[in-house]
Amino acid sequence: MSRLAIKICGLSTPDTVGAAVRAGASHLGFVHFPKSPRHVEAEQIRALAALVPPHVGRVAVVADPADETIAALVATNALTALQLHGKETPERAAAVHARFGIPVWKAISVKTGADIDAAEAYAGAVDLLLFDAKTPEGAALPGGMGLRFDWTLLRGASIGAPWGLSGGLSIGNVAQAVAITRAPLVDVSSGVESAPGIKDVDKIVAFCKAAELS
């Protein structure tokens, strides 16, 4: 990626999709996880993705999905990637890639340097690793909670796959996050919301501007 890639995740309305595209987002994320306030059904994803130009990636975010769930999402023909955000093993990620023929991203929950080291097991099994903050034990959601981890853990890390940074990013800290980690992709969700699951058009635009200036 020659320029910083920006993923706006958890989109659910035409106006916020349009705002993200106009602001220069490289990827849009659609959460398909019923416990999430950002959940959208497969047909909603199809409709929203139809508003997106071909050069912008369209990523469905799932957590420990059954094959039937993945099949329904892939059948929309709306996606450019599937993001696994649960406890999927490298073997499961590779199997999803092989069976469905869609690029696979894997979110890696990070609390310590050991979590980053463990991500090496996914190299070759997925197309992109997304380093996110580890949620508290027993949390209802695997991500999207506005939590961040110690970004200095990524300094000098040897990562054997394309990767991105997620977790607790906001308009005010994305430039610092990129400066510390040299992340080629940043992923924001709650950081551009006015309330859980409610994206704010002005915040989306401001985040993209702050990221591009980083």
Residues labelled catalytic: 9, 132
* 160 three-state secondary structure: coil
**What is d(CA 78, CA 63) in angstroms, rounded to the nearest whole number?**
19
Count the Cβ atoms, other than its own, within 10 Å of residue 132: 26
CA distance linking residue 140 with residue 87, whole number of Å: 13
Q: Output the CA angle 136-176-160, nearest 5 degrees.
A: 70
Tokens encoding 203:
């915040």
Contacts of residue 108, defined as CB under 8 A and 6 or more positions apart, other chains included, come to 115, 116, 118, 119, 122, 129, 130, 131, 132
Strands 5-8 and 104-110: unpaired
Residue 6: φ, ψ to 5°: -130, 125
